Chains A and B, each alone.
Chain A
Amino acid sequence: MINTFGVSTFGTKRMTQLLGARFIPGAVLLVGVFALSSVTAQTLAPICHAKMSAPIEVVSSHQRNEAGTKAQPPITQDQGFDWPDAQISALKTDSGYFFFSIDAGTHYRQLWHGQWVGNNNSGSVVRTAGTLDNPLGSAPPVDVVIDHNPDPKVNPHNCDPTKYPHNFCYTYIGGGPVYQVPRDRVGAGNWLLVYHAEYNDPNYYLLGLGISSDRGEHWTDIGEIIRFNMPFSYQGSPAGAAIGDPPLVTSPDGKYFYIYFQDWLKDGNFTMASVARASIDSVLKAAFGGEKHYAAPFSKYYQGKWDQPGIGGASTELLPNARYGGGLNVAYNSYLQRYMMLNSDSQNYSYAESIDGQHWTDTVFLGMLGYVPNIAGYSGPIGLGDDPNILGKEFYVYYTQFRGPWPGGQSVKRFTLTCR
């Protein structure tokens, strides 16, 4: 994925959509508003009363470029370190944090330390070890691709695009938020990751799962979980919605993984937020419980029921009054005892709250943090407690500050959100 607005007249000319966000020009925005206006308004009121700090820079573009020179396996394409091309997520370690995001560059096949690595495709999983003030850290970033599943039937589209017909293989696959399987669960200690994949002719986005048993040194694709309601078509229009690369969120009863995304509906409209779920037991059993590793099916929430398939099913709009979308990130806030959804279109930032993960407050506008073409994409909240995926009264929101042609001047910024 590359900057929507970055334009280059020399060097690369790739331009695709921000995977987690979409700036909606006025006319388009209004079409979306009217299309959604018939949905019943929500009555839940927000209780956070958020105060947002001025953003600070936690990774300069210079630091990012320098880190790319140390990445392992070595970067093989000219642009350098195209990171972070998704929101930054975190797991806490004994000495600090692991952070995860995507290097959007092409990872050409290469022999490295006696092993073939790379997939001739764009995207990866980058693991860095650092602190909340320096998520890049000083150690070499681990920058690896999501390997195809040993069983080709699990996902035939995660393949080498140089060896298959046009657009049979994804043109991008990378992730993403990581779930560490707890001790008392099937697959304890392993990591489960949500990845974002793309076709680029025309642009089309989807979500899948990957697993790692060696703390992110290698990742294996276990298959797709979410596709738009609108099917992919070579003759079709580019996707109007940004599906993002959202995290798995545990439901209030602890039984399900919820996942939130923008859906592109068959009638051409798109939702600002939709949700799908799968039971945690089924996901972990399918991913780790047998000799074969695959993704359990997810079901989209539609008109009060969880009966639509995650792959291509219809979905209900969760934010009927929202005016822009993309970059959805939901996390539980233990201080509020509510879920919080961070939402941005790479310019405007807002949040919403929910008690049950299905019914949400109207969005609360936080401010305009990015301004075209210097947009602010891929917002991701990180908690300050033992579990960075649980938010508190005060938490951090990281985002990628775009500046000039991707990825030359991009930096990582952070603001503090405090619920008063």
Chain B
Amino acid sequence: MKITQSRDLISRKNRVVPAFLVGLLALLPLPLLSRSAAAQTFTELYPFNSTGRLSDGGTPEAGVTRDADGNLYGTTFFGGAGTGCDIYYAGCGTVFKLDSAGTETVLHSFGGRYDGWNPTARLILDAAGNLYGTTGYGGAFGHGTVFKVDKAGNETIIHSFAGGTDGDRPNAGLVQDAAGNFYGTTQYGGRGCYGQGCGTVFRIGVDGRETVLYRFADFPDGASPLGGVALDSSRNIYGTTWLGGAYGYGTVFKIDMCGSEKVLHSFAGGGDGANPLDAPVLDKAGNMYGTTAAGGASGGSLLGLGTLFKVDAAGHESIVYTFTGGPDGANPYAHLLVDAAGNLYGTATSGGVTGNGTVFEFSDGLLTPLYGFSSPDSNGENSDGQYPMGGLITDSAGNLYGTTVQAGTYGWGTVFEVQP
């Protein structure tokens, strides 16, 4: 179903509108916020549960990956044909393919004794068409896996996390360097945090062997990384932690090629952000951009609805946008997409006109809501989806692709496209 909306531009904090009025924006009628009326088109590319009983998957949290032929790939937390998982609801999750004709195929259904379960991470694709990802649950030791699924849908467990000093609960996606090594994080495992472990950063070598590069220690170090990592050309690793840091609201960290970690920024709450849930992205100039799910409040309060932050090449952090909960959205969970011109694209999981999340563009200090998701009906269904938790990807034409975890035509989330 195609839906067309006009776009609204909203200034970044303090640029046009005084800070004390920012909150009021949420209460203003929409026309007062509009700066232009360029239209964009939204398309629900695929609604999950189309086949009934979630056999095609359900609850896609991570967004999608696209190949050169225009096929989209992703994971779903529930659904598929697998059984035996800890968090069971009509299947243990899937790896799916959505071709350009809109036909969805389940490449792999998770489940079973040694397989991973319930994936939440985005996939990455190699030149041969193999998909790589993580599951936070399952595996040989029950602490999650790194897996590979080939074009034919054959799955291989590359690594099963052992817990303890090894990682535990790899929730986030992987990144791959030029040599073919994979990098990622685990929420738990490592050291500290009352025996549960404060999380790790790991590397999987081309030989499939896993190495823990860093174990977080909590205050003043970070704890519980929920997002993946980003790599620069010097093989430095950048990421965020959900918790920990000097103020307990999470960190931005850097790990150099020698394995030495440095907290670049501890989020302080209040006007600063709090609780980042995904990895930052790097632009050509070496600036890092990311989201915090909370923080960014004005008026001295320690509560906010989330921010966009920047850490420059010198390691200085600044908040470039504070979400208001109005048409711009609230609580951005996912990583940002940066295009060649330096424009940022992302999702806010809640907020927007109906409170069900938005797709936005941020450029030249202005945030433009590109799409606001609609409210589901009493069956939890609508025509576009609800709560985009994952990030966006783009194609050569500038179209944006993502997922929503709930609602859609059959109530179990969607894959969507926005043409800005």
In the complex the two chains form, is B248's CB within 8 Å of A323's CB? Answer: no
Q: Could you tell me the distance between the alpha carbons of A7 and B411 in the complex, rounded to whole angstroms? A: 7
In the complex the two chains form, is A404's CB within 8 Å of B59's CB? Answer: yes
Residues in A74-107 with C-beta less than 8 Å from chain B: none
Number of interface residues of A (CB under 8 A): 45
Binds A, one of B64-72, B297-305, B359-367: B297-305
Contact with B along A1-38 (1 / 0, CB 8 A): 00001011110010100000001011101110100000
Residues in B175-189 with C-beta less than 8 Å from chain A: 187-188
Q: Does B402 contact A (CB under 8 A)?
A: no
Residues in B69-99 with C-beta less than 8 Å from chain A: 77-78, 86-89
Q: Give the nearest-CB partner of A9 in chain B.
A: B411
Q: Does B239 contact A (CB under 8 A)?
A: no
Residues in B268-282 with C-beta less than 8 Å from chain A: 269, 274-275, 277
The smallest beta-carbon distance between A56 and chain B, in angstroms, is: 4
Q: Does A364 contact B (CB under 8 A)?
A: yes
The smallest beta-carbon distance between A403 and chain B, in angstroms, is: 6
Binds B, one of A118-126, A196-204, A365-373: A365-373
In the complex the two chains form, is B349's CB within 8 Å of A371's CB? Answer: yes
Q: Could you tell me the distance between the alpha carbons of A373 and B379 in the complex, rounded to whole angstroms? A: 16
In the complex the two chains form, is A25's CB within 8 Å of B355's CB? Answer: yes
Q: Could you tell me the distance between the alpha carbons of A372 and B61 in the complex, rounded to whole angstroms? A: 11
Q: Does A185 contact B (CB under 8 A)?
A: no
How many contacts between A and B, using CB within 8 angstroms? 141
Q: Does A346 contact B (CB under 8 A)?
A: no
Q: Could you tell me the distance between the alpha carbons of A51 and B187 in the complex, rounded to whole angstroms? A: 18
On chain A, the residues within 8 Å of B378 by CB distance are 13
In the complex the two chains form, is B27's CB within 8 Å of A31's CB? Answer: yes
Q: Is the interface of B mostly helix, strand, loop or mixed?
A: loop
On chain B, the residues within 8 Å of A51 by CB distance are 219, 248
The smallest beta-carbon distance between B327 and chain A, in angstroms, is: 10
In the complex the two chains form, is B86's CB within 8 Å of A52's CB? Answer: no
In the complex the two chains form, is A27's CB within 8 Å of B326's CB? Answer: yes
Q: Does B319 contact A (CB under 8 A)?
A: no
In the complex the two chains form, is A373's CB within 8 Å of B411's CB? Answer: no
In the complex the two chains form, is A8's CB within 8 Å of B380's CB? Answer: yes
Binds A, one of B11-19, B151-159, B190-198: B190-198
Q: Which of A27, A321, A404 is in CB contact (< 8 Å) with B77?
A: A404
Q: Could you tell me the distance between the alpha carbons of A5 and B406 in the complex, rounded to whole angstroms? A: 9
Q: A33-B23, A365-B303, A372-B331 are in contact. Are A26 and B53 (CB under 8 A)?
A: no
Residues in A355-394 with C-beta less than 8 Å from chain B: 363-368, 371-373
Q: Quick one: which of B52, B198, B293 has the most chain A CB within 10 A?
A: B293
Q: Which of A7, A62, A367, A409 is in CB contact (< 8 Å) with B248?
A: A367
Q: Give the nearest-CB partner of B326 in chain A.
A: A26
In the complex the two chains form, is B198's CB within 8 Å of A54's CB? Answer: yes
On chain A, the residues within 8 Å of B53 by CB distance are 10
The smallest beta-carbon distance between A81 and chain B, in angstroms, is: 14
Q: Could you tell me the distance between the alpha carbons of A198 and B350 in the complex, rounded to whole angstroms? A: 27
Q: Could you tell me the distance between the alpha carbons of A15 and B223 in the complex, rounded to whole angstroms? A: 34
Contact with A along B380-420 (1 / 0, CB 8 A): 11000001010000000000000001110011100000000
Q: Which of B78, B277, B293, B326 is in CB contact (< 8 Å) with A404?
A: B78
On chain B, the residues within 8 Å of A364 by CB distance are 302
In the complex the two chains form, is A9's CB within 8 Å of B243's CB? Answer: no
With A350-B302, A365-B303, A373-B405 given, can you name 9 additional A-B contacts, CB distance below 8 Å?
A: A23-B350, A25-B350, A26-B305, A27-B355, A30-B325, A54-B224, A367-B248, A373-B406, A416-B194
Provide 8 A-B residue pairs closer than 8 Å at the C-beta atoms, listed in order of the A residue: A13-B380, A26-B325, A31-B27, A56-B188, A62-B87, A348-B294, A367-B275, A408-B89
